[in-house]
Each structure stands twice: as structure tokens, then as C-alpha cells.
Structure 1
Amino acid sequence: MTGPYMGDPQLTEEQEAVIQQPADAIVLVTAGAGAGKTHTLVRRLDRLVEQEGLSAREILVLSFSRATVRELRDRLARDGETAQYVRAQTFDSWALELLSAIDSHTDWQAQSFDTRIRAATKAIDAGDTDGRYEEALRHVVIDEVQDLVGDRREMVEALLGRYDCGFTVVGDFSQAIYGFQIQDPTERPGEFFTWLRNTFGEDLVELHLGKNFRARTEEARLALPLGPELQLSNGAAISGSHMHSRLRTTLGRTLDFGSLDDQFVCDSLREYDGTSAILCRTNGQALLVSELLHKGEVPHRLQRAAQDRAVPAWFAALFHSVDTSQLTRSQFDEALSTVSPPSDLSGDVVWNLLIRHSAPRGRRVVDLVRLRSILASGRLPDELTAQPPCPLVVSSIHRAKGLEFDRVLVTDPGPLRDGRDTDPDEEARMLYVAMTRPRDELWRLTAPDTRFVRKDDQTDRWGRYHWQRTWRLGLELAGADVRPDQPAGAWGFAADPIELQQYLATKVASGDVLTLERAEVEANDLDHGPSYLIRHNGRHIGAISDRLRSAMYRYMQLGRGFIPRSWPILIAGARVDAVETVAGSRASGASSGLGPHGVWLAPRMTGLTWFSYEKKNGEEAVNA
């Protein structure tokens, strides 16, 4: 194997042992942080196709997170010789595809992730999938298996237990940080490892990847020696509390990066040549860090949740380029030349992705009706919805799983909190994950003050509070908080929709300040707050969605049966996450002059806001 692998580090004996396993082998690979598992998997997939004679359709590659799947797809496209066409999917997307093939009459897209996973497991157990996979499936590759808990664990166990095929599963228990998703209090993270060993016994080949390829300095390797001990802390003699304390002590030996209120600190973040990340214990902390960075005028990207996907603005140009229902390659090339497509994807790659998911059978044209349906239901390929690269990323530790950076600043998590909702083992593993993300530099950062910021149980959003229990001072913004069914200018305020689309495409950028202005004194709908218009540099560019209005109502409720009467007149602290492509009313789009497809641009908001209320004398009370 030459060509794509020229210049890569020489394979270790551990990697060679994984790659050379036959196609019918059942293999568990434990791989430490930065151990080159993705490169090893790509080389293994190449061998399965090239030397073991498997076709791409006979291999199924599954992983927990979209980020991991995206990285594996990118590496297959870049480095894979014969395996570049092997499909890699998340458990959720695979379950959806499987169910749609078995029962095309059910709207599976409308079901929740957990419902689809449980339905897929039931279908596998009942043998409903045998006609689809019994003969065709010869090898399964599963990454990040330490994160398999609950329904997803049961689905994978059903898959591996039913079909007589080889498999390669890769994981590291010391990086298992999704135990909070477990509903059954008797289940613990890592049970999948136990199931594998009990089910396959001596037939299970266990291999290990131990050499770290990520960390290039001693400080970046500080936490790595504690990884093997974390493997033993799951209810064993080494307690999670003890491991968390040791990791926090190790973090304390790193240099303090300083305060984000310091202009010198902000300058050093802005001027760094490599990639950086600030990793926080919670997304509430990440929102506050982002707020401080904006004050210091430091460009950055706030990492979205895995399920929070945005369709990039350039996508709208494809729909606006033609009035017909089909898009040819020449029309695609012309449309793409007028916008800024993703820098990491070529036109050929984008075109082939669109063809794969939306072309009529046997034709090399894009069916825009089908593509719009895929867009509206959130089923576009991950490659087309990935957040754009940014030199500085602010993220919770959970959202940074699987990522790596040249420099990492970890907010000090503080001592473990008492309470039944705190799992010391998982807290230790989470801190370990954060401390093993850097290639070169590991720094410590004082966590922002979160005394009056906490997760609101009614909305599952972060909110601002006060020592007076009844005060509500701000709420987190997220995807789908902008009204999607009508283009800007067609509802809530009068403006030229065509001119506003041009304004959104050319004048609105990520990080820009937004203000939400109350459009009505009282809410007209039951269980919803009033409407708010979105203002950018003095002009309206949209209205909030019913989803956000409902969240506002629940956040403002002080108890069951309470009807909120006082609403903020202004909401500050909002920022532009991105300008995205949305699908709404075809009739409204056509009447607004935006074509027949019902597709246009809309701002996507982020940030932890501040509420401003109106005083009784009519003056504005800032931040209540």
C-alpha cells in the first residue's frame, strides 16, 4: 500500500496486529487517547477490501458521534485506496435507513432517536432484517464503543449477536463520558465490554493500541499515565473521586492562562498561529466563556451539540439557480461559482454527495424536490452540515469528544460536588478526555462564575437567575429559534424579501450582535410568550420561532398554573451563529419572489441572553 500512506508514520506492531486480522475474526481493540485508531481502521478497511476480497457493501461501519463518522469518512476519502467507498454512519442514521427499508410506510423521521433505535433492535431480534443483511454483511466495524449505553448498546448487541460475521470494535473505557444518558440505574458504562467477553469467550481477540501519536510535548502528555488507572476505577478499588482529585492536581501543575477580562490574554488568543480550544465542564460555562471572548473581540466558534445541525448558506444558491425541479452538473457548477462553498470540500465531492442522496434512479441530476425534503427533515450528509473550521473553539467537554487541537485551555472543574446527580467515575473520565485533547500545549483556566446560571428543567436550556427566586434574567438560544416557515420580510414586519436575502448573504456574519425586540405586549397564543423581531445593525432580519416562544413561556412560569404577565421588552446578548438555509412555505417563497422551492436564508442564533424589562413609568430597565 503506497500512495495515500506515503509520509505517514510507520505502523507499530500493535497497529499491524489489528490490521492483519482476517475478515471473519471477532476483535476488540482498546485504544488510548491519540493512539492513531482512525488511521488504523482505515488501513484495516483497505486490507478487508484489497486482500480479504470484501466489497464495500459487505462492510458496515458505525460510530456514536457525527464528528467521529465525519473524520472517518474524510480519512477514507483521503487515505483509503480500495476502501474509500465503504459507508460510515452513526447508529442513529443507520437505524433510520434500516427501518425505512423495512417499513417505508411509517414516517420514521418523525420519531425520536430513541424510538428508532428501539424499533431497529426489535426488527433485528425478530429477523425482519435477515433478507437485507444475512448474506450481504461480512464485517462490522464499530468505533467509540465505550459510549454505547442503553438503547444503542442493546441494538449493537442484537446486531453482533444475530449475524455470523466478523467484527472489529474499538473503544477506551477511560473516555466513556455518556453515562448520564443511561435511564436504568442498575446499568453502568462499560457493560458492552462485559457482554462481548461473556458472549464470545475465547473466540474474542483482544488487542491494544497504546502508543500516543497526538501529544508532541511533555505537558500534552501529563494526563496520559492516568488512563490505565481510569480503566480500573469503574466501581473497583480505585475510586472515581480519587482519580478526579489526581487529575485535578495534575491540571493544577499546568500554567494558569490568566483572566479572559485581561486584554493581553485576549490578544494572545487572537494572535496564536495554531488551533486552540477552551473546554468547559458544562455548556453553561461555554456560553459564559463565549460572552467574555466577544467582549474581548476574540473571534471564535461555539461548538454546537451533535444533533444541532445547520445547512450552510451556499445551499440556497442551488435552489435559486433554477426554476425547474432538477439541477444538472453545469447548473450546479455555475451556482457554486457565485457563492462560497466549504473550503474543505471540492465541487466534485459536493456533487457526488448530492447525487448519492437525491438523484433519480439511474440519472446524474439532482432532484430538488427530494433534496428539499431531505433538507427539511434534517437528513443531509454530515459533510454538508459540519461547522466551518475556526482557529479557536469553545466547547463543553462532551461536545469536543473526538476532537484535537494544538493548544487546549481546560477550565478548572473545581472539587466534586456532593449529590446523587454526580458520578465521580464519569467526572474523572470527563476531565481526562479534556486533558488529552492537546497536541502541544495544555493550560489551566479559571472557570467563569456560574452562581446565577443553571439548566432550566422545563426547557433544557441554560438560564440566568437571581437570588430573588422569581427573577428571570436571560435564556439560552439554540438552533430552530428563528421562524422558518416565512422568509424575512414576509411576516411580522414589512420589507423586501429579495433585498433582505441579499443582505443576509452579504452583510450578516457569524459573531455579529443581534437584539430581540418585543413585537406585541401580550402573547396571543396559549402557552407561548409574545413574538419578538430580530434586529441586526438597526434593521429587522427575522422573527423568533414558536419553539422559542414556547420555551420562553415555560422558563417564565414560576409554578404549575402560573400565567406569566411580565415579558422583556428587549433581549440582548444574542449572536449570529451562522446564516443558514431553511425550508419553509413554498407559497410564501413564491409570493415573495424567492422561487418555487420554498428555500431561503435565515439567521441562526446563539448565546446566553440578557432580559431588559420595562419600568412602570415606561422607561427601560436594563437587565432587570
Structure 2
Amino acid sequence: MNIQSNQIALDASQRAVATAACDERQFVLAAAGQGKTEVLLARASSLVDDGLNPADEILVLSFSRAAVEAVRKRSGIHDLDGLQIRTFDAFATQILLDEEDLTEVGLPQGFDHRIRKATDLINGADFPDRLYPLKHILIDEAQDIVGDRAEFVLALISALGDEVGFTVLGDPLQGIYDFQLQGSVSKRNSSEFLQALINDFDVTETQLTRHYRATSDRTKELIKLGETIRGMGVLDDLTSRAAHQLLDNYRMESSSSSLLNLPGMLEPFEGDTTALLCSTNYEVLIASELLWENGYSHVVRRKTQDMSIAPWVYEIFKDLEDRTYNAQDIKEKLLAASKGDADDQWIALKTAEGDSRAWDSLNVSRLSQRLRSRSVPLALTVNDSAPLTLSTVHRSKGLEFTNVLYVQPPAGAPAAKEDASALRQKYVALSRAREDVVSTKLLQDSSARPVLSDGRWLEKRFGKFGQYTARMEFINSDIDDMLPFESDEIIAQTVQDNLVLERLLGKIIFGAIIDNDSEIPNYKLLTEDNEIIGKTSDSFGYGLKKSFAFKNRRNWTWPRGFTGGRVISIECATGHPEYTKSAGLGTSGMWLVPRLSGLITPTWK
């Protein structure tokens, strides 16, 4: 069998992994740029050639949404339409959605709770029906599987039995998610997970040999450094410091004192991409602010749970009724819209809708309400790729770019330490590049002190009465997407008409308070032309109350408004058909909402 992709012909080490027997259990050490995605897809192709059905007998799992996205995009060239490709969180949510008793009580809130609930189901007497057909599991980015997700994977493999094979790919030098153990019930770290996998399941260990990502002498040099660091063994204090010195010498070979000194990278040539990688999202917000102010368009990569439904889904369904349509009707609308691969989109829509017994039809009402659960297939989410991408290092996992701008973390930050954790984070950032890596600095206001509180960054300063919050991060959940926005002064359809991304992307949005006497305030969102595009949520109100508001006798004093947030995308919100019907938007149960990012400043007058 001649297994190859449209980019690389597999070498002997990759071919051996891809063509192993269906029931083989392999752990594959695969460094950055060694063609993991192609190996994974070639493995799936080989399994299909051996008679397995990609739709229900093969499952691809990854910790990273970016890795899932890369696999999904390339699966078409391997004729793997219908291949199950999921993050662990999305697959666990699908297991829960399959259970009928959740129709009344709803899904557990938070991905960690869902992972634990799904693990309980796997370990319980009522084995989930979705798992019965599985014959082989492919797991990518295994070094990032920790805590409750590690228990989920181990339970899954154990429950499926000895006859089910698996192929696990990973690189311990890229394991940067052990910090998630703080919020996890299980405290199993990435090293312990990999050890349990190897010891308990009769695993064959192998290693890929060739490298494909690096295309320049500059990036090929990092490959040798990575091999040297892996050869150091366990990274204690002494070896970590030595390894940091190697990487710091490498990154300083090409450096700049300011982002704005690098216009060529900030405006890549057609076909090229640049990633600006930071250690924290606060640094991403500061860099984004600087770039917008200087006219550099970009996208900010968000965390997995913040990725919402693409606006093209709304365009497809906005004029449809809350009833069942046959597959051909939906596919014709998908083809007419030309927003991507119609067959792939149909599979994603049907997967989200969840009625596998009626594959040739789709119920719009069921789809809109299932999408509300946030179990959204990747093909239906907003595309956050662009020539210039701003991201934390953690959110760049699984991605590659032509060039990388590595923002040196500020002195005293956890990422600036010379320990093993910071080393792996630095290596991950530098190894995303195909051609060049430039180390740079982000000039920050020394009088501002960033503090992470309840999932959002606050910018603290000192004033006449001591420390106070000067700015607050606007996060994904700060937009009210529970119902289509309308008010006495504007109808819902006008708000929808105002939501045009080409006009709004990167524009500063102003907030104006709606009800000054409420316990938790909401703010309408206005463009600089005074167009209303939505309103804030209660989540935003609580954040504002904690950060800025003060109580005078019995009443709270709220900011009259705020400024500083910028539009980063327009997305599709979903809910019950009655929501859109009562707002005069049809009965699809779908409407548009904006998403904002940035550090907002309150206004009191």
C-alpha cells in the first residue's frame, strides 16, 4: 500500500506506524514538525483499507482544538469524509447528550464537570451506546492530557477491551498543561498519564525520525536543540537552567526591541502567516490594542470553550421554519452559500443535531437547541485564522506558522522562570515556526499591575486613595446571547442588520447603561456612529460590580458607560424557536451577536 499525502511521502518510521495491525497499541514519540497530522491521517486511511468504517469504528481525539482543526482540514485529501474528529471535551459532551435523562436536567455546567460525568458513564453499568462500534482510537497531543481528562481516556481504553487498538502520539517536551491540575479532581500529571498508558495496556513504543516543518537553517537549528534537551533526561533545576540557556541563546540570535519595528512580519506576504505568541492573555490584549492603534489587522485566538457558531449557520437557517427538512434541501442551501465544503458542513450539522436514526433529514428546532449546549462540531465554529494571529502559547498548540514573533515574558512572571514548565512553554512557542523566529518585547506601562481574577484580567493602578481597578477585560460571556436584543427604541431586525463584520472588525464599541436602578446593570453596545449592536450580559454586570461600582447608602452607583472593547467576530446564537418568533426574526431559533475583546475603561459622566 502506497500511503502518502499531498505534501509529504511518509518515511519508514511513519509508514510503520500507519500500517500497523488494527488491534495494535502504539505510543509514538513525535516532536514538533515531524508530520504527526499526516501520520495520524495515514493511520486512519490504513484502518479504512483494512475494513473499518471511519464514521463509527474509528475515533480521533485531541486535547487541542487547533490540532482537531488541522486534522479535519486535511482529512478530505485522504478520502476520510465522516471521520470522527473531536476534542476530549466535545466527545464527552456528545456522550452526555446521547443520554435521554439529560433532556430534563440539562448538561453539567463546565467542561471539567462534563468530563467527569462522561467518565462515570463509561465506568458504570450503562455503557454509552456511542462507544460500542469503536475498533480503533487515535489520540494526538497526548502530553497535554492531565487530571480528569487523563482519567477519561484511561477509562475509555480500559472499557473498550483488549480487542480495540489505539495509536497515541505525543512529545513530553511539549507538555504545558499540568497547570490545569489546580482545578481538577484527579491530580494525575502528563508524565503519570503516559506511564500508565505504557505500563497498563501492553503498548509498543516507537519514534518518528524525520522533520518536515522547518524550512530554513534558522528553524532547523531548533530541531537539534530539541534533541539535545530531550537527551538531558529528567529536567531538574540544574538541567532546566542549562536548557533555558540553549533556547535563550537561540531566540536572541534574531530579536527586536519593539513589535512596531517588524512591519514585514506584521503584514505577511500573501500565503504567509505570522503568529505573535505571548505567555498570558493580558499580554495578548495589550499587543492587540497596540496593533489596532497602528493599523495592523489581526485575529485574537480564543480558548476552546469560547469558540461559538459561525455566522454562515445563521445565514443558512434564518429563513427556515422550526420543522424537519430533507437533506437535499439543506445541502442545496449549503452549496449556494459557498462557505466551505458542503458535504463536510452537512455532516457537522447532522452530528450536532444528533438524530442518527434519520440521516436523510434535519430538524431545525432540535439543531438550534442542541447547539445551545455548546457541543459544537469544529466545522460549524467561527474561523479564527488570519495572516496575523495573536495568541497565548497554550492556544497555539497544534498550529504552525511561517514566522513566529515570540514575546519575552516580563521579569518575575511564571513564564520567565528557569524551571521545566517555563522551558516547555518556550520550546512550544519557538517550534511553531517554519521559516523564522524573532524574539521581541512588549512595552507595558510600569504603573499598571495585571491581576487575574475570576477568569478575567484586571489592570490595577495606585491613586490618591490606594490601589484601584483602572481597566477590566471584556470576555466572551460578557455578551448577552440568551435572547435576540430589542428594546423600545430599536427592533431586533435592525440590530441584526447592524451586525456586519466587514464594517465592525476591530472597531471600538461603547457601552451605555440601560437601567441605572437595577441590582445588576446591563449596557447597550454602540458603534461610534451610534448604531446599537447588542447588550451586555449579567456576567458582565457582576464583573463590573466587583471591579468598579460602589455603594452609597442603599443604592449602587454604576458607571454610566464604558469604552475600549473591540469587535473580534460576529457569531450565531441559538435557542428555542419561540425566542426568534417573538422578536420577529422567524422560527429558526438562530440570530446574530457580536463578540468583543479588550480592556474596557468605565465612564462616569
- Work out the CA distance in 2 between the residues paired with 1:543 and 1:251: 44
Report the counterpart of residue 611 of structure 1 in structure 2.
602
Write out aligned runs for 1:13-412 (5 A).
Answer: 13-51=12-50, 53-56=51-54, 57-76=56-75, 78-81=76-79, 83-101=80-98, 104-105=101-102, 107=105, 109-129=107-127, 133=131, 136-162=133-159, 163-164=161-162, 165-183=164-182, 187-200=188-201, 203-231=202-230, 232=232, 234-236=234-236, 238-256=238-256, 258-261=257-260, 265-266=262-263, 269-270=266-267, 272-273=269-270, 274-328=272-326, 332=330, 342=339, 345-358=340-353, 361-362=357-358, 364-412=360-408
- Offset, 1:158: 2.0
Report the counterpart of residue 618 of structure 1 in structure 2.
none
Report the counterpart of residue 455 of structure 1 in structure 2.
451
Q: Which of 467, 471, 475 does residue 474 from structure 1 map onto?
A: 471
Which one is further off, 213-222 or 398-407? 213-222
- Work out the CA distance in 2 between the residues paired with 1:503 and 1:557: 30
User: In the alignment, residue 494 of structure 2 is paired with which amino acid?
Assistant: E
- Work out the CA distance in 2 between the residues paired with 1:603 and 1:277: 24
- Work out the CA distance in 1 between the residues paired with 2:118 and 2:81: 27
Contact kept, 8 Å, 2:571 with 2:592, in 1: the verdict is yes
- Work out the CA distance in 2 between the residues paired with 1:506 and 1:283: 23
Question: Does residue 540 of structure 1 match 2:568?
Answer: no
- Work out the CA distance in 1 between the residues paired with 2:146 and 2:34: 23
Question: Does residue 503 of structure 1 match 2:498?
Answer: yes
Which one is further off, 19-28 or 217-226? 217-226
CA 1:507 to 1:25, structure 2 compared with 1: closer, same or farther past 3 Å?
A: closer
- Work out the CA distance in 2 between the residues paired with 1:422 and 1:103: 49
Contact kept, 8 Å, 1:234 with 1:425, in 2: the verdict is no
Contact kept, 8 Å, 1:266 with 1:296, in 2: the verdict is no
Contact kept, 8 Å, 1:146 with 1:176, in 2: the verdict is yes
- Work out the CA distance in 2 between the residues paired with 1:418 and 1:335: 50
**Paired residues, number:** 592
- Offset, 1:152: 0.9
- Offset, 1:251: 1.0
Deviations 1:538-577 (A, max 9, x none): 2222211111111211233799x99995543332211111
Which one is further off, 89-98 or 149-158? 89-98
- Offset, 1:381: 1.1
CA 1:558 to 1:244, structure 2 compared with 1: closer, same or farther past 3 Å?
A: farther
TM-score normalised according to structure 1 size: 0.87
Contact kept, 8 Å, 1:557 with 1:563, in 2: the verdict is no
Which one is further off, 28-37 or 246-255? 246-255
Deviations 1:237-269 (A, max 9, x none): 75334323432232111232x52456xx44662
Report the counterpart of residue 599 of structure 1 in structure 2.
590
Report the counterpart of residue 622 of structure 1 in structure 2.
none
3-state SS of 1:354 partner: helix
3-state SS of 2:481 partner: coil
- Work out the CA distance in 2 between the residues paired with 1:34 and 1:447: 28
Contact kept, 8 Å, 1:102 with 1:128, in 2: the verdict is no
User: In the alignment, residue 550 of structure 1 is paired with which amino acid?
Assistant: Y
3-state SS of 2:343 partner: helix
- Work out the CA distance in 1 between the residues paired with 2:563 and 2:391: 22
- Offset, 1:349: 2.6
Contact kept, 8 Å, 1:146 with 1:190, in 2: the verdict is yes
- Work out the CA distance in 2 between the residues paired with 1:31 and 1:110: 35
User: In the alignment, residue 255 of structure 2 is paired with which amino acid?
Assistant: L
CA 1:543 to 1:131, structure 2 compared with 1: closer, same or farther past 3 Å?
A: closer
3-state SS of 1:24 partner: coil
Deviations 1:490-533 (A, max 9, x none): 23x512332332222476432122111233444x12xx3x3222
**What stretches of structure 2 of length at least 5 have no aligned partner?**
none
Which one is further off, 438-447 or 501-510? 501-510
Which one is further off, 86-95 or 149-158? 86-95
User: In the alignment, residue 111 of structure 2 is paired with which amino acid?
Assistant: F
CA 1:20 to 1:587, structure 2 compared with 1: closer, same or farther past 3 Å?
A: closer
Report the counterpart of residue 576 of structure 1 in structure 2.
567
- Work out the CA distance in 2 between the residues paired with 1:291 and 1:391: 17
Report the counterpart of residue 554 of structure 1 in structure 2.
546
Contact kept, 8 Å, 2:400 with 2:433, in 1: the verdict is yes
Contact kept, 8 Å, 1:28 with 1:207, in 2: the verdict is yes
- Work out the CA distance in 2 between the residues paired with 1:176 and 1:6: 27
Contact kept, 8 Å, 1:515 with 1:535, in 2: the verdict is yes
Contact kept, 8 Å, 1:325 with 1:367, in 2: the verdict is yes
**What stretches of structure 1 of length at least 5 have no aligned partner?**
615-624
- Offset, 1:198: 2.6
User: In the alignment, residue 38 of structure 1 is paired with which amino acid?
Assistant: T
Give the root-mean-square deviation of aligned CA atoms.
3.1
Deviations 1:430-488 (A, max 9, x none): 0000000011111111134264242332x310112102444221111122322223433
Contact kept, 8 Å, 2:244 with 2:418, in 1: the verdict is no
Deviations 1:46-96 (A, max 9, x none): 112213x333322222111222122212222x2224x44331222122222
Deviations 1:89-143 (A, max 9, x none): 2212222233444564464523332222222323333453287646x33222111
Deviations 1:179-203 (A, max 9, x none): 1101379754311122123324xx4
- Work out the CA distance in 2 between the residues paired with 1:5 and 1:564: 69
- Work out the CA distance in 1 between the residues paired with 2:501 and 2:27: 50
Contact kept, 8 Å, 2:33 with 2:212, in 1: the verdict is yes
3-state SS of 2:315 partner: helix
- Offset, 1:12: 1.1
